[in-house]
Amino acid sequence: MCIGNINKNLPNVGRFFYASLQNAHNQLEQANIILSPKKQKMKVAVVGATGLVGSKMLQVLEERNFPVSELIPVASEKSVGKQVMFKGKPYAVVGMEAGIAAKPAVALFSAGGSTSLEWAPKFAAAGIKVIDNSSAWRMDPTKKLVVPEVNAAVLTKDDFIIANPNCSTIQMVVALQPLHKAFTIKRIVVSTYQSVTGTGKKAVDQLMNERKGVQGEMAYKYPIDLNVIPQIDVFLENGYTKEEMKMVNETKKIMQDDNIRVTATTVRIPVIGGHSESVNIEFEKEFEIPNIIDLLNNAPGVVVQQDDAAQLYPMPLWAHEKDEVFVGRIRRDETQPKTLNMWVVSDNLRKGAATNAVQIAEYLMANHLL
Ligand code: 2RA
């Protein structure tokens, strides 16, 4: 939306209307829902540009019309020279050193934890803001872990490596934040149903090969088609998986509340894209269901899909290629007071990864933090 400086030429009523419109525009801009076209364009690097998340970052930058003056696709040596498409034009992939030398203002990283540990500090030392999708920096107390709808306000000009949370955590906290504000969450019990794109291309290939009856490389120890695998990532000493403990620790960090108790069971299912979560939430304060629905309806980035008579509820099929977090099956847990059940679905490659990273960049830009 572009309003421009037309106020002085308008009659009184028009001026009042214009002022309201300008005010609404400013609020949307401050809330990072729109970017003003006045803002400068910038050089953007995507590190890991040939991977599943990296490609989605390019797509989301393009679709959201992020003001890219020059795109620098970066990848490991074996991908240097390959081409990626952006806004209908081919771009040659460059290596890490060349990526730094090109001096982008911001680098969206999705190249894995060890690459990020090695290279994010080098990009940052060159004055480049890194938004990193790996788990390398998420729990580092000196780094911010950001979901813009929840805690963008923690960001400052001094943050040079910003962590993008895990996909299953992002969609949950977007839905929980407005409820925590109103009723104070005491405890969360979450079970996830995560799609194979969360693992990467090798897992998508495994699923598709199994469906075609073709032998191929296995991303998982077991078949994934016609199966459900109650393990995501490696097991830790406490019997939980790394993915489960990410949900526990990242939720507290993003929501800035160590008192919230979280327990998680994370499960891989044979779905190509979109993670689903059954979330049970115990609050400190009493709530009414219409109030919960109202809060979620008004929460940024949330869409409520709830109509039992019409059998309407969120599903990965409908969340595909969407940026929102979809919430439904909202009902009281009848076994104990002040407790709610709900079902949360989102596209894990978009809001769970690429979109969240691009939204952080949009926030930095809109708030002059670059
Ligand atoms: C998964 N959470 O779905 C991971 C991806 N970040 O496996």
199 lines ligand 1 (CB under 6 A): yes
Looking at the fold, whether 110 and 143 belong to one and the same domain comes out as yes
Atom of ligand 1 nearest to the CA of 197: 3
Could you tell me if 362 and 264 lie in one domain? no
Same domain, 204 and 290: yes
Are 270 and 297 in a shared domain? yes
Q: Say yes or no: 139 and 217 in one domain.
A: no
DSSP notation for 315-328: -HHHHTT--SEEEE
User: Residue 160: is it exposed, middle or buried by C-beta count within 10 angstroms (0-12/13-18/19+)?
Assistant: middle
Q: Are residues 174 and 317 in the same domain?
A: yes
Q: How far is the CA of 234 from the centre of ligand 1 (A)?
A: 12
Q: How far is CA 72 from CA 17, 55, 103, 200, in A?
A: 43, 13, 9, 22
Structural domain span for residue 243:
169-348
User: 36 lies in a domain?
Assistant: no
Domain shared by 155 and 227, yes or no: no
Q: pLDDT for 128-175, tens place per residue?
A: 999 999 999 999 999 999 999 999 999 999 999 999 999 999 999 999
| Beta carbons of 353 and 164 less than 8 angstroms apart | yes
CA angle 354, 159, 62 (to 5 degrees): 25
Dist. CA 56 → ligand 1 center (Å): 15
Using pLDDT thresholds of 50, 70 and 90, give the confidence band for residue 1: very low
Total tally of structural domains belonging to the chain? 3
pLDDT digits (tens, 9 = 90+) for 323-353: 999 999 999 999 999 999 999 999 999 999 9
Does 198 sit in the ligand 1 pocket, CB within 6 Å?
A: yes
DSSP letter assigned to residue 351: I
SS3 at position 187 = strand
Compute the distance between CA of residue 103 and CA of residue 289 in angstroms, rounded to an integer. Answer: 51
42 pLDDT exceeds 50? yes
Please confirm, yes or no, whether 368 is among the known catalytic residues: no
Residues 244 and 312 in one domain: yes
Global confidence as pTM = 0.90
Amino acid at residue number 29: E
**What number does the ligand 1 atom closest to the CA of 348 have?**
3
Domain identity same for 216 and 315: yes
Residue 40: pLDDT band by 50, 70, 90 thresholds?
Answer: confident
Quick one: pLDDT band at residue 118, thresholds 50, 70, 90?
A: very high
Please check whether residues 15 and 114 belong to one and the same domain: no
Residue 314 sits in the same domain as residue 344: yes
How remote is the CA of residue 195 from the centroid of ligand 1, in Å? Answer: 8
pLDDT tens digits along 236-248: 999 999 999 999 9
Count Cβ atoms below 10 Å from residue 55 Cβ, excluding itself: 20
pLDDT digit string (tens) for 252-301?
999 999 999 999 999 999 999 999 999 999 999 999 999 999 999 999 99
- In angstroms, the CA 71 to CA 58 distance is 9
Whether residue 25 is predicted with pLDDT greater than 80 in this model: the reply is no
| Residue 167 among the catalytic residues | yes
| 2 and 151 fall within a common domain | no
